[in-house]
């Protein structure tokens, strides 16, 4: 029992869950695969994660923790709402090895959540944080917009970055980092949310 409280073992198992889901999708995320990747026994993994759903929920929680911390830091260091909005949206794109792995984990989780209400609810809860932040920043940049238009504008922005993020996992040539950033900057300009917009 004491082995399961070993912080190093716990960290290895968490990282293994993340890597296996990112590499092999939900179909490859098994207790055995996680144990092999973590270099531990299946029993040790089973003690912390009783089933596949628990593994998936853990991966989603890790994704939320990573992205929420990153977006909070980006917003805090931005000099204006316009800069903050672009930074928050940009970090959701698939531009680096780290964010490409996050995209694969995100897509794998969503695929598993299609027929699992518990997984779907966890996704909605985490995703709402990103949507709420985006809405707030849009409202700060464009205070004249009514709430319904703020909401639809935020939906447009989130839909673009999540769509680009997803498409880039399967077609890195058509959706390379430059193409993703160009699309984001174009939309921000069209919506009056770029750096030239009045604060």
Do the domain assignments include residue 72?
Answer: yes
Question: How many beta carbons lie within 10 A of that of residue 122, not counting itself?
Answer: 19
Residue 147: predicted pLDDT: 97
For 53-80, the pLDDT digits (tens) are 999 999 999 999 999 999 999 999 999 9
* Residue among 152, 132, 150, 112 at smallest CA distance from 26: 112
The answer to the question of residue 175 being in a domain is: yes
Number of domain units in the chain: 2
Identify the sign of the CA torsion 167, 117, 54, 134. positive
Taking CA 169 as the corner, what is the angle to CA 115 and CA 92, rounded to the nearest 5 degrees?
Answer: 85
**CA angle (150, 102, 119) in 5-degree steps:** 75
In a domain, 198, yes or no: no
Whether residues 129 and 149 fall in one domain? yes
- pLDDT value for 2: 37
195 within domain boundaries: no
Assess whether 102 and 152 both reside in one domain: yes
Identify whether residues 86 and 129 lie together within a single domain. yes
Residues 141 and 98 in one domain: yes
Residue 4 lies in a domain: yes
Please state, rounded to an integer, the average pLDDT across all residues of the chain: 91
Say whether both 81 and 155 belong to one domain.
yes
Assigned token pair, 169: 């996992």
Residues 160 and 185 in one domain: yes
Same domain for 73 and 136, yes or no, is: yes
Overall average pLDDT of the 70-99 stretch: 95
In a domain, 95, yes or no: yes
CATH number for the domain spanning 22: value is 1.10.10
* Boundary-marking domain end, from 9, 25, 50: 50
Query: What is this structure's pTM?
Result: 0.87
Query: Considering the domain boundaries, does residue 197 fall inside one?
Result: no
pLDDT in tens, 126-184: 999 999 999 999 999 999 999 999 999 999 999 999 999 999 999 999 999 999 999 99
CATH value at residue 128: 1.10.357.10
d(CA 134, CA 194): 14
CA distances from 149 to 6, 38, 89, 95, 152 (A): 50, 47, 18, 29, 5
Q: Does residue 196 fall inside a structural domain? A: no
Mark whether 21 and 67 lie in a shared domain: no
Residue 62: domain span = 57-190
């Amino acid at each position: 029992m004491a082995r399961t409280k070993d912080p190093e073992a716990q960290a290895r198992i968490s990282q293994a869950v993340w890597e296996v889901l990112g590499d092999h999708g939900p179909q490859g995320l098994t207790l055995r695969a996680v144990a092999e990747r973590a270099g531990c026994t299946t029993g040790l993994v089973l003690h912390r994660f009783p089933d596949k759903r628990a593994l998936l929920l853990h991966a989603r929680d890790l994704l939320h923790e990573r992205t929420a911390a990153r977006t909070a830091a980006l917003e805090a260091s931005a000099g204006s709402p316009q800069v903050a909005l672009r930074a928050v949206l940009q970090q959701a794109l698939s531009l680096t090895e780290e964010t490409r792995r996050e995209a694969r984990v995100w897509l794998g989780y969503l695929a598993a959540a299609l027929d699992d209400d518990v997984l779907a609810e966890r996704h909605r809860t985490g995703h709402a944080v990103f949507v709420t932040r985006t809405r707030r920043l849009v409202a700060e940049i464009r205070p004249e917009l009514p709430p319904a238009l703020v909401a639809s504008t935020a939906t447009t922005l989130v839909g673009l970055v999540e769509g680009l993020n997803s498409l880039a996992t399967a077609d890195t040539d058509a959706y390379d980092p430059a193409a993703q950033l160009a699309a984001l900057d174009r939309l921000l300009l069209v919506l009056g949310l770029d750096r030239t917009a009045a604060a």
